[in-house]
Amino acid sequence: MTNQEIKALISLLDDEDQEISVHVEDKIVSLGEPVIPFLEEHWEESINPEVQKKIEDLIHKLQYESLLSRLATWRKTGGQSLIEGMWLVNTYQYPDADLAVINKTLDQIYYEAWLHIKPDMHPYDQIKALNHVLFRIYKFSANTKNFHSPANSMLHLALETQRGNPLTLCVIYLTVAQKLGLPVYGVNLPNLFILTYKKDGYQFYINVYNRGLILSKADIDSYILQLNLHPVDIFYEPCSNPDIIKRALRNLAVSFEKLNETEKATEVNKLLDALTDDSDTVLRQDAGEEENESNPENNEDDEPLE
C-alpha cells in the first residue's frame, strides 16, 4: 500500500460502524510494524479519546506480535547474544530501548575493567578487581527496596540507575567478564541467580547480588540443603543464554502478578512460551526451580549466600 492508502485506511478507525472498525483494525495489523509511524501520526492529530485508545492498543499489538517473532527467531538461531536477548525482554515495556546504547555502556565498563585486570592474576584476584570496578567505581548495587519492580528486569534501566535484581546484575557482570576473556557463566540456582568461574576443573561461585561475594561448592551445597532440595547439575553448572532469558521473563511475569497487572503477566508468559518447550518445564519441576527470584534481603533461605 502507498503512504496515502495507509493514511486513508487509518482514518477509517474513526468510523462508528463496529463492523467497519474491526475490518480496518485487522487490515492494519496485517501490515505489521511499518504502519506504526502512521498510527502515531494519526494519534497526534486525533481529538477523540476512544480513537486514541484504539490506536494505542493497535500499536501495542503490533509491537507485541513482532517481539514474539523476534524472540522465537533469536532462540532458533542459537541465542548467541545474551545482550540481544535481554534487550528483547526490555522492548516489551520499552519498545524504544536502544541496543546500541546498551552495548556502548557495557563497552565503557569493560574498558575500565580492562585497566584493572591482568591475564596473569589469580582468578580470585581477577574477580576481586572486577568487583572493585563494578561495585566501587560504577557503584552497582542490589535494588532491595523495590525488588519486585518490573524495572529490575530491564537491563537498560539497570545500567542507567546502577540498580537491579540478581539476574540483571549478573548479566552485566558476566558480559564484562567474558569480554575480558574470563570463564564466567550464569548458574540457575533456585531463588537466586549467581555466576560461576569455571576453567580446567577449577571452579568457584560468585554472588553478584552481594557485591561479588566468592562462594565454594560447599556453600552451594548448604544453600540447597536449606531449601530442602536434592542437588542436581543445573544448580552448579553453567546455563545457556536462552535459560537466562527464560528466567528474566519469569521474573518479569511475577513482577506484574504482584502488581495485579494480570494482562501483562499473561502476555509475558506467552513470550516465555516462545522460548520454552515441554522438556524445559519438566526439567524445572524436577529440579524444584522457582518461577522467580526471591529477595535475598528478606529471605531466610538465602542467608548463607549473604
Which residue, 28, 45, 76, sits at the end of a domain? Answer: 76
Which three three-digit cell numbers place residue 110? 569493560
> Which residues are CB-neighbours of 278 under 8 A, at least 6 positions away?
none
* CA–CA distance, 143 with 145 (Å, rounded to integer): 6
pLDDT of residue 290: 41
pLDDT of residue 42: 87
The answer to whether residues 108 and 240 belong to one domain is yes
The answer to whether residues 128 and 28 belong to one domain is no
The torsion angle over the Cα atoms of residues 276, 277, 278 and 284, rounded to 10 degrees, is -40
Which residue, 55, 76, 97, sits at the end of a domain? Answer: 76
Which three three-digit cell numbers place residue 177? 567478564
Amino acid at residue number 57: D
Which three three-digit cell numbers place residue 249? 521473563
pLDDT of residue 161: 94
Q: pLDDT tens digits, the chain, 306 residues: what are they?
A: 788 888 888 888 877 777 787 888 888 888 888 899 999 888 888 888 888 888 999 999 999 999 999 999 999 999 999 999 999 999 999 999 999 999 999 999 999 999 999 999 999 999 999 999 999 999 999 988 878 899 999 999 999 999 999 999 999 999 999 999 999 999 999 999 999 999 988 999 999 999 999 999 999 999 999 999 999 999 999 999 999 999 999 999 999 999 999 999 999 999 999 887 644 544 444 443 444 566 665 543 333 333
The answer to whether residues 118 and 188 belong to one domain is yes
pLDDT of residue 291: 43
The answer to whether residues 135 and 203 belong to one domain is yes
Alpha-carbon distances of 212 from 157, 238, 267, rounded to whole Å: 20, 17, 33
The answer to whether residues 150 and 86 belong to one domain is yes
With contact defined as beta carbons under 8 Å apart, do 192 and 305 qualify? yes
Alpha-carbon distances of 242 from 74, 135, 254, 273, rounded to whole Å: 9, 27, 18, 12
The answer to whether residues 135 and 245 belong to one domain is yes
The answer to whether residues 68 and 87 belong to one domain is no
Taking the chain, what is the end-to-end CA distance rounded to the nearest angstrom? Answer: 59
| Domains in the chain, number | 2
The answer to whether residues 52 and 108 belong to one domain is no
DSSP letters spanning 34-52: GGHHHHHHHHHH---HHHH
pLDDT of residue 280: 54
The answer to whether residues 130 and 41 belong to one domain is no
Which three three-digit cell numbers place residue 260? 495485579
The model carries a pTM of 0.87
The answer to whether residues 158 and 38 belong to one domain is no
* CA–CA distance, 17 with 95 (Å, rounded to integer): 31
The answer to whether residues 138 and 13 belong to one domain is no
Closest by CA to 298, choosing from 191, 188, 216, is 191
The answer to whether residues 155 and 213 belong to one domain is yes
Which residue, 76, 100, 133, sits at the end of a domain? Answer: 76
pLDDT of residue 8: 87
Please list the alpha-helical segments (H only) found in 188-301: 217-226, 241-258, 262-273, 278-287
Please list the alpha-helical segments (H only) found in 48-180: 49-76, 82-93, 99-116, 123-131, 155-161, 166-179
* Domain span holding position 55: 3-76
